[in-house]
Structure 1
Amino acid sequence: MDKSTRPEAVSSVLKVFSILQALAEQKDISVSELSQRLMMSKATTYRFLQTMKTLGFVSQEDESEKYALTLKLFELGAKALEYVDLIDIADKEMQEITRLTNETVHLGALDEGAIIYLHKIDSSYNLRMHSRVGRRNPLYSTAIGKILLSGKTDEEAIEILKPVEFIRHTEKTHQNIEQLMQEVHQVRIQHYGEDNEEQEPGLRCIGAPIYDRFGNIIASVSVSFPTIRFDIERKPQYVAMLLTAGKRISEQLGYHDYPSITTQE
């Protein structure tokens, strides 16, 4: 940010939060009342309110022309708390998978047109997947991404993918939405997703879904293997391990209708 614009930007943020605080303390309030209370000009207050209204954080009563908070802030807070609970709950199951496989385990969620890593347990091997919490990776070339897309309808998934540029990381990377959606359909049937050297050469990942109490896929837990340590004969065991973890995490989040766990390929 340019230094000359920074104070103005900070001032704007302070004004937004002052308005939110005032609206939280009073159920509904007019522009005049709010501007007097915050010692801001009526025009400035109105401009901020209209922007917040457009973003869905504020509603306006047509008859009285008073403004009030919507539930959008509550929804944002609830999502943040959900992820805090999710990470705490998932940690135990992720530690167990790492104990059994000695491989890197990730917890990931949807972040617009990509996945974001919420939590990670590292392998003790020197040769392992290099990643970090907060890092984003593509939906189309990751096991987690395919799991998250499988929880959407075809229409929703395609809408999410429309602005995404399909970069060919390896020869096995999907090149377009049509190719990817064919695999997403299979993921819905088998209840697990795979990355077979699509994001990085020499790296394979398997992921399983995590559901919230309403039955929505909100995250995925995955394990990553360098191909030299991936035992194809043990793949059914890896899948069953991940599905068991996904089921336990989902149950603690309030979902008790997890897909049947199978060890069949």
Structure 2
Amino acid sequence: MRRKRIVEEDTKRARGRPKAWDDKGQQNTIKSLDRALEVLVELGNMGGGTLSEIAGALDQSPATVYRVLTTFQGRGFADFDEQSQVWNIGAAAFLTGSQFLRRTSLVERARPIMRELMEATGETANLGIERDGKVLFLGQVETHATIRAFFPPGTASAMHASGIGKALLSRMDDARQRQVLAASKLEQFTPHTLTDPEAMIADLHAAKARGYAIDGEERNLGMRCIAAPVYNVFGEAVAGISVSGPTSRITEDRIAELAEPVMAAAARLTTAIGGNNRPAG
């Protein structure tokens, strides 16, 4: 019986990692692949660039970067425009990256809720999560209005200058909160961006108390966002849902009014993913 259990455990282990999977040594890293992925990530961050621009940004030789790019081009992960001599992310990178959205039912469950939120408020509805100390936008339902906010899926944004980012930060413990804020260095994007750590912490405490966060022109002038957290089964904030639009429509005296459907949408999504609407902590 014991032998059978050992065989079963070995079989399970072999599905994802070898026996020495706990080893964090560099022998488990393929350096050439790691460097190649650096090129792909930088290409995405740049939004396209010439060979010399990409090589310069990475401090790598143009010959090395060129070999990497042509390899990615062969697999559809990079495109090259002969006329402009500019390299861009290819369709295969998008298709592979979009698989991330299918790992969880969060995006699928959120879509109809976001659509109803957009219809109820008349403003663009957004869904985001925290990844590596930033907000990663997973979905958006755009308003029918002419002036609108635009955060396509895959966009990453600073947490301290984002409604969803601040909603998620407000539910973190103090140590994690300060860790994320320190890493962001509280970069100033507009005159309204909170760059003083204590002012930021006070703003997050206020967001936690009222149940929603506000981005008041802190990332983009003329734009305002209202966001509320979505919780998992343990009552931990794992995502945020928001509405965003121009300050001419989302005026200060409408914030409380619009916050109600935002919080209701976040609560519905929490329930839809089997979460607990009684926050932890």
TM range (shorter): 0.5 to 0.7
- Asked if 1:141 corresponds to 2:161, the answer is yes
Please list the CA deviations of residues 143-181 of structure 1 after superposition, one character each: whole Å capped at 9, or x if unmatched: 111111112101111112222232211111011322211
- Which residue in 2 is equivalent to 1:205? 225
Structure 1 vs Structure 2 CA RMSD: 2.8
SS of 1:222's partner is strand
Q: Distance in 2 between matches of 1:181 and 1:165?
A: 14
User: How much does 1:194 deviate?
Assistant: 0.2
- Which residue in 2 is equivalent to 1:129? 149
SS of 1:163's partner is helix
- Which residue in 2 is equivalent to 1:9? none
Q: Distance in 1 between matches of 2:155 and 2:277?
A: 31
Share of identical aligned residues, percent? 26
Aligned partners of 2:122 and 2:143 also within 8 Å:
yes
Amino acid at match of 2:204: V
Aligned partners of 1:250 and 1:258 also within 8 Å:
no
- Which residue in 2 is equivalent to 1:177? 197
Q: Distance in 1 between matches of 2:255 and 2:194?
A: 22
Q: Distance in 2 between matches of 1:130 and 1:102?
A: 14
TM-score by length of 1: 0.67
Equivalence map 1:1-265=2 (5 Å): 23-25=13-15, 49=20, 53-54=23-24, 84-258=104-278
Deviates more, 1:242-251 or 1:224-233: 224-233
- Deviation above 3 Å: which 4+ runs of structure 1? 20-23, 25-29, 80-83, 231-234, 256-259
Aligned partners of 2:170 and 2:208 also within 8 Å:
yes
In structure 2, relative to structure 1, the CA distance for the partners of 1:126 and 1:218 (3 Å cut) is: same
* Structure 1 gap ranges (5+): 1-19, 30-48, 59-79, 260-265
User: How much does 1:83 deviate?
Assistant: 5.8
- Which residue in 1 is equivalent to 2:80? none
Q: Distance in 1 between matches of 2:269 and 2:15?
A: 37
